[in-house]
Amino acid sequence: MESTKKFNSIVIGITTTLMFITWHLIQDFSEKHELIKNYSLLSSIITSALSFILSIGFYRLVFRLLSILFNKSKCFKKWILGKTYLEGIWIGCFVGATGKKRFFYEIFTQSLDGLMIRGYSFEEDFSPQSTWSVENAVINPHIYGLTYTYLNDSNASTHTNLGLANFTFILNKKEKAKELKGYTCDLFNTKKIYSIEKKYSDNVTIEEKENILIEEARKMYLDHEDRFRNINE
């Protein structure tokens, strides 16, 4: 992934800079001590071995510190992930296979290794309808695509169902994802379900009542009702 390459490039760049400074300090130390000068071969071997050990240590230290910064700082994470930054709470809506309106919210948790999703859908009366989880979604920054398989646990079913999803994300003026549009399909049901969602917050913890999120999702459906009607006709 582009974000992983970017992160590793920063780690290598900082490590190289630290090693360059350390190498010059070692050289200055060697030149100031006559005993080391008299054993130039031994000095070179020791310096090379020390540099190798230090380079590994510096790399691990820098990688660890930047990983902590990545997980703690939203700004740094956004900068590293760029257009592929999707972490946060998303709200959306769809019309199910039975023709009923569904309102939902999802929590996207993003790391350098991938994207995890937890989703919760509700009936028109805001009662729970189903939940789903995604282990590792695939983000394609070149086509602004999001693809994943999910496990869906519905109140209407006695077993967990596997499904496929394919979305396109739309960027705002700051080139950050603001909306997702696409289709999902449970493997036991060949009908594709059109779904649309928008980013509600960058947080991954819900700070308000769940009904507030569902109400916002319901309003979103009303704003796009004509689109759903045209797709389902």
Mean pLDDT in consecutive groups of 10 residues from the start of the chain, 233 residues: 85 85 67 53 58 75 91 92 92 91 95 92 93 93 92 82 92 84 87 93 85 94 86 62
Do 25 and 131 lie in one domain? The reply is no
> By C-alpha distance, which of 190, 225, 86 is closest to 146?
86
Where among 72, 96, 130 does a domain terminate? 72
Residue 78 in domain = no
Q: Please give the Cα distance from 153 to 144 (Å, whole number).
A: 28
What number of other Cβ atoms are within 10 A of residue 214's Cβ? Answer: 22
pLDDT value of position 107 = 96
Do 124 and 17 lie in one domain? The reply is no
pLDDT value of position 173 = 74
pLDDT value of position 177 = 87
Structure tokens belonging to residue 175: 């080139």
Residue 175: helix, strand or coil by DSSP? coil
Give this prediction's pTM: 0.82
Domains held by the chain: number? 2
pLDDT value of position 171 = 84
Where among 72, 105, 123 does a domain terminate? 72
pLDDT value of position 48 = 62
pLDDT value of position 205 = 85
Residue 202 in domain = yes
